[in-house]
Chains A and B, each alone.
Chain A
Amino acid sequence: MIKELSKEARLVLEGYLILPLPGESVTCPYYNNARNHVRMGLRAQIGKGSPEEIADEALLYAIREKLDLEILKPSMRKQFLLDHNLGIDCSGLVYHILAAETQARGLGGISQLLKFPYASGFWARLGRFMRKRYAENTDVKTLSHKNNSRPVSKIEIQPGDILVSLKNNSLQQDHVVVVTKVDGEKIWVAQSELRPKDTSLSLGVREEILTSLDALSPRRMNWL
């Protein structure tokens, strides 16, 4: 029996796979704010925006720079997005998909369901006080915290479950993927990731069959 994400969550994922931009389709690139450390920025520009927010921001930049995105090749459009720090990181993608999934299942807003044990800085607390900066405060460690997740065995895996890898040393990096479809032994996952050897067109959000955990990422990871 095939189990899939809800229609709403699937729409969000498809928004990232085909960004709502004019012209040929382009997937949302990977962008992680860890390098630039932008504080209090637009969430579309710190790797936490929804597909619509990312596309809107891209269109605004295009208007300002008098650029017609429609006539650009997909690779150039993707480069344009990257040049303007527009993209999504792994936890941002998972956050938005799970937000749609929890709403569709009638569980309420994800912001009410998630706990934020690591967001203790001033701005994080202020953000939580304002009750709007949840996506920005959601990282892999937050998603995998015992208050937010519990381990499940492989046979129990359902769409909407997450696979988490936490780093053991500085060479590794935290990563999270979300299960989108389960068909018996076959598991489909969606993730946003930057692979150093990828071409500019293949980096970013993708949905693929999970063959093995190591195949998810070429970097050595500590999958939980």
Chain B
Amino acid sequence: MSNIVSSLQTLVGFALLACVVAFLWAPVLTHFLYKYNITRRNEYDSTPTRNEKAGTPIMGGLLVVVTVALVTFISNWSRAFTWVPVGVMLLSAFLGGVDDLLNIFGAPRRSRKVFHILNLIKIHKNLRTRIFLTLTLPWAIFKRVGTWMGSHPGRGMHVHEKLIFQFMAGGIAAWWIYFKLGEHWQQIYVPFVGATGDGFINIGVLIIPVFILTVMFTANAVNIADGLDGLAGGALIPTFAALGLLAWVKGLPEIAVLNAVTTGALITYTYFNVKPARFQMGDVGSLGLGALLGINAIVTNQILTLPLLAFVFVIEALSVIAQLMSKYFFGRRLFRMAPLHHHFELLGWSEEKIVMRFWMLHMAAVLAGLWIGLH
């Protein structure tokens, strides 16, 4: 009993430590972001409330990413457990950071239509250009398909570039789990089956694409949900707290501590991020924390409960997919605007109302996920 209390005390202690560390350097970060004018610009494809946020610092997600990396590196650095989750988080955060900076300081980027390129291949006066365009045509098609999935290309990274980076991050996670953590991790835990069977199903090597897709999905899902002040940060708190608890119950103390540290840093971040936000997460935070969420769900073997543990993020990502499908296949909008929070904004809901209701729904879903995950 005293062991249980002691390990719980450790978890809570780490969460508190991260909370305090983040709080201490938050003013430094804010000063840095203002000093270098890393602030939100007006966007083309946006809602009025989002445009009101022009001038607010972005890349506030650094507060969580750096705090988690720092605290883990100093006090929870385990080759077997925390290297890769933190590494993948940092890789995704780097990608997000580049995107944030390009969005602010980069030049507008274009994406040629495939038919335009085909025409240029036929009519361009320079033979070398024609050969170059012919050889790079498959890449151009891939790039164009990527733009169908994204909104206005703008100045930042294009969808296809993000997907490649996220694929790499997911690939590293899958490689680590499949080849380094042993056979036990190549199975998916099925809740409730434990009573009758061993609770695991083995899908063999197929687990690798499952891992990759999970990390890619969660990274993008958090990125998509990060559209209103406090929404993503506040929703991530119960998610990481639940994952920490599940990791602790399953005997994974390093992962439990990692989740506790993330939860603590997120509490401080959300304090500064609620409306009116002192700073916003930016892609650096949303992509990094999204990847960390995916990998932690995999390590704690909660892929099947992930739709509940990451409820708001899954719903937001699905709303974007459904909107695109509806637009392309049915020619009609399913929502006034995707992701889902913008739909409610355009219906006239206040930002606070949307965020609070999403938080509450999310917490209820996380409780359900936790309950199922414990079986």
Point out residues on A near B: beta carbons under 8 Å: 40-43, 46, 48, 53, 56-57, 60, 63-64, 66, 126-127, 130, 132-133, 135-136
Which A residues are CB-close (under 8 A) to B328?
A: 40
**Cα distance A135–B329 in the bound complex, in angstroms:** 13
**Cα distance A60–B323 in the bound complex, in angstroms:** 15
Stretch at the interface among B44-52, B86-94, B294-302: B44-52
**Cα distance A214–B44 in the bound complex, in angstroms:** 46
**Cα distance A66–B52 in the bound complex, in angstroms:** 11
Bitwise, B322-362 to A at CB < 8 A (1) or not (0) is: 00000111111100110000000010000000000000000
Which B residues are CB-close (under 8 A) to A130?
A: 329-330
Given contacts A60-B336, A60-B337, A60-B346, contact A133 B48 (CB under 8 A): no
Q: How many A-B residue pairs have CB under 8 A?
A: 42
Contact between A127 and B45, CB atoms less than 8 A apart? no
In the complex, which of the residues B48, B327, B329 contacts A126, with contact meaning CB atoms closer than 8 Å? B329
Which B residues are CB-close (under 8 A) to A57?
A: 333
- Which residue of the partner chain A has the closest CB to B45? A64
Scoring B47, B48, B331 by chain A CB atoms within 10 A of each residue's CB, the highest score goes to B331
**Cα distance A130–B331 in the bound complex, in angstroms:** 11
Contact between B346 and A132, CB atoms less than 8 A apart? no
Contact between A63 and B331, CB atoms less than 8 A apart? no
**Cα distance A133–B330 in the bound complex, in angstroms:** 6
Contact between B46 and A64, CB atoms less than 8 A apart? yes
Which A residues are CB-close (under 8 A) to B46?
A: 64
- Which residue of the partner chain A has the closest CB to B331? A43
Which A residues are CB-close (under 8 A) to B48?
A: 63, 66
**Cα distance A42–B326 in the bound complex, in angstroms:** 9
Contact between A46 and B331, CB atoms less than 8 A apart? yes
Which A residues are CB-close (under 8 A) to B327?
A: 40-42
Within B43-68, which residues are at the interface with A (CB < 8 Å)?
A: 45-48, 51
Contact between A66 and B51, CB atoms less than 8 A apart? yes
Contact between A42 and B346, CB atoms less than 8 A apart? no
Within B69-84, which residues are at the interface with A (CB < 8 Å)?
A: none
Which applies to chain A's interface (DSSP): helix, strand, loop or mixed? helix
Given contacts A63-B346, A64-B45, A64-B46, contact A48 B329 (CB under 8 A): no
Contact between A127 and B329, CB atoms less than 8 A apart? yes
Contact between B331 and A136, CB atoms less than 8 A apart? yes
**Cα distance A40–B332 in the bound complex, in angstroms:** 10
Contact between B329 and A63, CB atoms less than 8 A apart? no
A60-B346, A135-B331 given; 11 more Cβ-contact pairs under 8 Å:
A41-B331, A42-B333, A43-B332, A48-B331, A57-B333, A63-B48, A64-B46, A130-B330, A132-B331, A133-B329, A133-B330
Contact between A42 and B332, CB atoms less than 8 A apart? yes
**Cα distance A42–B335 in the bound complex, in angstroms:** 13
For the complex of A and B, list the 6 residue pairs with the smallest distance between their C-beta atoms, beginning with the closest: A43-B331, A132-B330, A40-B328, A130-B329, A42-B331, A136-B331
- Which residue of the partner chain B has the closest CB to A41? B331
Nearest-neighbour CB distance to chain B for A135, whole angstroms, equals 8
Nearest-neighbour CB distance to chain B for A116, whole angstroms, equals 15
Which A residues are CB-close (under 8 A) to B330?
A: 130, 132-133
- Which residue of the partner chain A has the closest CB to B44? A64
**Cα distance A57–B336 in the bound complex, in angstroms:** 9
- Which residue of the partner chain B has the closest CB to A66? B48
Contact between A133 and B331, CB atoms less than 8 A apart? yes
**Cα distance A157–B328 in the bound complex, in angstroms:** 38
Which A residues are CB-close (under 8 A) to B333?
A: 42, 56-57
Scoring A41, A63, A127 by chain B CB atoms within 10 A of each residue's CB, the highest score goes to A63
Which A residues are CB-close (under 8 A) to B331?
A: 40-43, 46, 48, 132-133, 135-136
Nearest-neighbour CB distance to chain B for A115, whole angstroms, equals 20
Nearest-neighbour CB distance to chain A for B104, whole angstroms, equals 21
What are 12 A-B pairs at a CB distance below 8 A? Answer: A40-B327, A41-B331, A42-B332, A43-B331, A56-B336, A60-B336, A60-B337, A63-B47, A63-B48, A63-B346, A64-B47, A66-B48
**Cα distance A60–B337 in the bound complex, in angstroms:** 8
Within B250-277, which residues are at the interface with A (CB < 8 Å)?
A: none
**Cα distance A44–B333 in the bound complex, in angstroms:** 10
**Cα distance A48–B330 in the bound complex, in angstroms:** 12
Which B residues are CB-close (under 8 A) to A133?
A: 329-331
Nearest-neighbour CB distance to chain A for B333, whole angstroms, equals 7
**Cα distance A89–B49 in the bound complex, in angstroms:** 35
**Cα distance A60–B327 in the bound complex, in angstroms:** 15
- Which residue of the partner chain A has the closest CB to B346? A63
- Which residue of the partner chain B has the closest CB to A45? B331
Nearest-neighbour CB distance to chain B for A128, whole angstroms, equals 11
Which B residues are CB-close (under 8 A) to A135?
A: 331
Nearest-neighbour CB distance to chain A for B78, whole angstroms, equals 48
Which B residues are CB-close (under 8 A) to A40?
A: 327-329, 331
Within B145-167, which residues are at the interface with A (CB < 8 Å)?
A: none
